[in-house]
Homo-oligomer: A and B are copies of this chain.
Amino acid sequence: MTDEAAAPSRPRSYAKGVARRQEILDRAIEVFADKGAEGTSLRAIAEKIGVSHAALLHYFGSREELLLEVLRESEVRHGSSRDKQEVVGTMVRAAERNVGIPGFVSLYTSMLAGSLDADRQASREYFGTRFARIRERLAQLIRDGQHAGTFRRGVDPEAMAALVIAASDGLQIQWLLEPEVDIARSLELLERILEP
């Protein structure tokens, strides 16, 4: 790479770069959904995906950034539809879907725990922002339901929103350790709190 300036320059179009990046990301999501990424180096990930280590670095910059991008992209794809006025149901369906992609649950959990580490600024920002956004969205749904009379008043919307997210994250961890743990069955109990 030291004599790069002397190499014949082949300008690659921006659009082609974007497409190639997306292609790599799609392949990464496929691989992680099945196997997770805990403990694998960027080099090992490159091998699994079937691209060069240099290409991964070029498009994503670091292992942490690649894995965060996998999480972001998966969130966009499986994003809960915003028009549904549901609080617990959305989480239940997400959990039911996640049971089919244990590697992804494992990736999510390991990135989440890693975000508590001081040197993982990007992960910390990702999860801090993500939690704040979901808490706000769920809290708003709860307030709306309370006004409409479909949810019990007197339940603090912010506290309930944090609880639903926490229960979902915590149950996924227990399920990874003990597959008999029934995530949906536990989550559904939360609906009782909101019953008018």
Q: Which residues of B contact A109 (CB under 8 A)?
A: 113, 116
- Measured CB to CB, the closest approach of chain B to A166, in angstroms, equals 3
- Measured CB to CB, the closest approach of chain B to A117, in angstroms, equals 4
With both beta carbons as reference points, the residue of chain B lying nearest to A156 in the complex is identified as B185
Tell me, yes or no, whether A177 is within 8 Å of chain B by CB.
yes
Tell me, yes or no, whether A173 is within 8 Å of chain B by CB.
yes
**Interface membership of chain A positions 15-32, coded 1 if the CB is closer than 8 angstroms to chain B and 0 otherwise:** 000000000000000000
Q: Which residues of B contact A90 (CB under 8 A)?
A: none
- Measured CB to CB, the closest approach of chain B to A101, in angstroms, equals 14
Whether B162 contacts A174 by the Cβ 8 Å rule is: yes
Interface residues of A (CB under 8 A from B): 36, 38-39, 106, 109-110, 112-119, 124, 127-128, 131-132, 155-156, 159-160, 162-163, 165-171, 173-174, 176-178, 181-182, 185-187, 189-190, 192-193
Is the contact region of chain A dominated by helix, strand, or loop, or is it mixed? helix
Extra pairs beyond A110-B113, A113-B113, A163-B189 (14, CB < 8 Å): A38-B116, A106-B116, A112-B113, A113-B173, A116-B177, A156-B189, A159-B189, A162-B182, A162-B186, A165-B170, A166-B166, A166-B168, A166-B171, A170-B170
